[in-house]
Chain A
Amino acid sequence: MIPQIINGLIFASILFLVATGLTIIFGILRVVNFSHGSFYLLGVYIAYSITRLSHDPVLYLASPFIAGTIVGGVGMAFERGLLSRVYGRGELFELLMTYGMIFVFIDVFRIGWGTMPISDPTITFMLGTVSIAGYTMPLYNIYLISIAAVLAVVLWFLLFKTNVGMVIRATSFDREVTSSFGVNVNRVYALTFFLGCFLAGFGGGLMLPITGAWIGLDIDMLIIGLVVVVVGGLGSIKGALAASLLIGLVRSFGISMFPAVELAIVYVIMIAVLIVKPSGLFGGVEH
């Protein structure tokens, strides 16, 4: 049981980071960022390049933060430079633009990091193992889950206890009213995109030692992220948390019990949730 739970929690942590980014960006900008999986993958690749510089464990542990910051910057540049030009033309065009970026990124990855899968588990050996209830497992796994949990708390604090968070949340309710209070909505959008992409890139960086990266992971991550967001309720961070845990654990147990159809189980859960509650677990009103 324990290994499945730990694996489930690792998966849930990453899903939470990815899905929260998606859901925050949707909540504020009303755009579903189709290139979110690509930002995740960019995070893995950047963490890989950073850790090529030196085999210092501190650098390994810092790499997700650095990768996240760079990815956040790239995301913000994309939002300011391209996406913001099509605001107001309808979600079709916003969606398509983020979709088009998936392909631009694919070739960026191929040119920058080649077509072979990469991974680097060095840090898991450096940190050693721990024993929980008689099961030995890498300490890094526990670290990953803890750091994601800490980040969830920080995020909650940022959004619900600070002025910046208040402005962001106010914008998600009503952008006209918010801008009439002298808030620079464009800056909120840029900041939101930075935050969302940071979370994706950070999650990617954390996964370098465990799964690594390969081309195709971008779309896999996007789809599973969308599933989490749909199950949790679009725009709801609480929903993203609950759905990440649900899907992370189900998938982990699914892999060990029904390996042939583990992914299908995830989709079946999604369909079941949507039939019972079309707006998702924590979704309010649609639109």
Chain B
Amino acid sequence: MRDYRIVYLAAAVLLFLVPFTGEYATYLTGLALLFGVAALALNVLLGYTGLLSFGNALFFGCGAYTVGLLIKHFDITAIEILFPASIAASFVVAVLVGFICVRHTRIYFTMLTIALASLFYALAHKLRPITGGDDGIRVYETYIFGHEITSIIEFYYVVLIFFIASILILRIILKSPFGLTLQAIRDSELRARFAGISIMKYRLGAFIVSGVFTGMSGALYALFLGQISPDDVLGLTRSGEFVAMTILGGFTSFVGPIVGAFVFTYLKAFVSSVALYWYMVAGIIIVGIVLFVPMGIMGEVERRIRGF
């Protein structure tokens, strides 16, 4: 085993320095950090529990809309209230949705996550008086302990702190007995049951962890971007992007989804700025990964390191 702590430290320093390179890079990196947490949360289900969720935008949107709705209807602008509220909301939604989904595995689970996310999408879309429909909600003038956050740079550091804290917490969760038990269930549900493990309970647990972390990143996304809409935070494409990022980075590796989120976010920004056809490129990338690098970037890197 090598010590990668130095790599992590270097990455943290680099991320700390990003705002000095300009607003656009800060904005982009902030997004990558948020998507990184969401992709990591998706991988709690995919890589660690063996469940493919194609509906995690449900939680992302849940976090984002909790912030949006509280600001729009109740004039709550204190992040120290908005953020815990979105944690609570995504927790409740994860429990309810989880009860329906975790009884199923494999493709049935995947289709259910899509359908349930679509339910929330349809509600956000149609309940115009409450959600603003297609136009979404503008999120602005938010405060943290009485201090108004105005610049994107300040927001970036909030996001960065959230990112680092999330990674540390998720790392402990995934290396805990709970995390080990999830991996056991992934590899052999039958054996795990005969080790005395209640499969449903643990799947639900994984679903809640995934939902809450995705919800938190959604909440910060709303605050960071200042604008949310159903298509952006609740659509199938948003869920699909989390999956694409995770696969691109490698679902067999802990840091894979983060790497995937960064590569995907920067690539999307770059391609969209030079060519009209980002969708085509995205599609070809997804098909290409599936064909040629199914273990993703980090899966490939780790294989090479082991090979030497």
State how many angstroms separate the Cβ of B275 from the closest Cβ of chain A: 10
B126 surroundings in chain A (CB, below 8 A): 260-264
Known: A91-B107, A260-B126, A275-B100. A100 touches B115 (CB 8 A): no
A70: min CB distance to chain B, Å: 20
Whether B106 contacts A89 by the Cβ 8 Å rule is: no
In A226-272, which residues have CB < 8 Å from any B CB?
Answer: 226-227, 229-230, 234, 260-264, 267-268, 270-271
A105 to B277, CA, bound (A): 11
Chain B residue nearest to A271 in the complex (CB): B100
Residues of B within 8 A of A230 (CB): 108, 111-112, 115
**Candidates A97, A106, A267; contact of B290 at CB < 8 Å:** A97
Q: Is the CB of B287 within 8 A of A95?
A: no
B144 interfacial contact with A, CB 8 Å = no
Q: Is A208 an interface residue (CB 8 A)?
A: no
Q: When the two chains form their complex, are residues B283 and A103 in contact, meaning their CB atoms are under 8 A apart?
A: yes
Closest chain A CB from B136 CB (angstroms): 16
- With an 8 A cutoff between CB atoms, is B104 at the interface? yes
Given contacts A260-B126, A263-B122, contact A226 B243 (CB under 8 A): no
Contacting pair A223 B236 (CB below 8 A)? yes
Chain A residue nearest to B50 in the complex (CB)? A92
Q: Is the CB of B283 within 8 A of A226?
A: no
Asked if A166 lies at the interface with its beta carbon under 8 angstroms from chain B, I say no
Which residues of the partner chain B approach A219 to less than 8 Å between Cβ atoms? 235-237
Q: In the complex, what residue of chain A is closest to B117 when comparing beta carbons? A: A223
Contact with A96, one of B107, B118, B119, B243 (Cβ below 8 angstroms) = B243
Q: Please tell me if A217 contacts chain B, counting CB pairs below 8 Å.
A: no
Q: Given A32-B111, A230-B115, A264-B122, do A100 and B286 touch, yes or no (CB 8 Å)?
A: yes
Chain B, 271-301, CB within 8 A of any chain A CB: 277, 279-280, 282-287, 289-291, 294
Note all chain B residues with C-beta closer than 8 A to A286.
104-106, 108
Give every chain B residue within 8 A of A108 (Cβ-Cβ): 280
A100 contacts B107, C-beta separation under 8 Å = no
Contact A96 B247 (CB under 8 A): yes
How does the 8 Å CB contact mask read for B93-116 relative to A, with 1 for contact and 0 for none?
000000010011111101110111
- Per the 8 Å Cβ criterion, residues 62-103 of A in contact with B are 82, 85-86, 89, 91-93, 95-97, 99-103
B104 CB contact (under 8 Å) in A107, A264, A278: A278
Q: How near does chain B come to A282, taking the closest CB pair, in angstroms?
A: 14
Question: Would you give the shortest CB distance from B276 to chain A, in whole angstroms?
Answer: 8
Of the residues B107, B116, B287, contact of A82 by C-beta under 8 Å: B287
Contacts of A107 in B (CB 8 A): 277, 279-280, 283
A234 to B290, CA, bound (A): 25
**Contact assessment for B107 and A104 in the assembled complex, using a CB-CB cutoff below 8 Å:** no
The answer to whether the Cβ of B180 comes within 8 Å of any Cβ in the partner chain is no
Residues in A neighbouring B111, C-beta threshold 8 A: 32, 226, 229-230, 234
Check B132 for interface membership: any CB of A closer than 8 A. no
Q: Which residues of B contact A99 (CB under 8 A)?
A: 54, 240, 243-244, 286
Give the CA-CA distance A278 to B200 in the complex, in Å: 15
Docked Cα-Cα span, A196 to B240, in Å, equals 23
In the bound complex, residues from chain A placing their C-beta under 8 Å from that of B285 are 100
Measured between C-beta atoms, what is the minimum distance from B148 to chain A in Å?
A: 36
Which residues of chain B from 147 to 182 have a CB within 8 Å of any chain A CB? Answer: none
Please indicate the chain A residues that have their CB under 8 angstroms from the CB of B277 in the complex.
Answer: 107, 110-111
> CB of B261 within 8 A of chain A?
no
- B92 contacts A by Cβ under 8 Å: no
Q: Which of B116, B118, B280, B294 has the most CB of A within 10 A?
A: B118
Using CB atoms, name the residue of chain B closest to A100: B286
Report the minimal beta-carbon distance from A251 to chain B, rounded to whole angstroms: 11
B127 at the interface (CB under 8 A from A): yes
Beyond A219-B235, A271-B119, 11 extra complex contacts between A and B, CB < 8 Å: A82-B291, A96-B243, A97-B286, A97-B291, A99-B240, A99-B286, A106-B283, A110-B277, A260-B128, A262-B126, A268-B119
A–B Cβ pairs within 8 angstroms, 15 of them: A32-B110, A89-B294, A95-B107, A96-B286, A97-B291, A103-B280, A104-B287, A106-B280, A110-B279, A234-B107, A261-B122, A264-B123, A267-B119, A278-B103, A278-B104
Q: Which residue numbers of A lie inside 8 Å of B, CB to CB?
A: 26, 32, 82, 85-86, 89, 91-93, 95-97, 99-108, 110-111, 219, 222-223, 226-227, 229-230, 234, 260-264, 267-268, 270-271, 274-275, 278, 286-287
* Shortest Cβ-Cβ A-B pairs, 10 listed: A100-B286, A103-B283, A104-B283, A107-B280, A267-B119, A263-B122, A100-B287, A103-B279, A106-B279, A107-B279
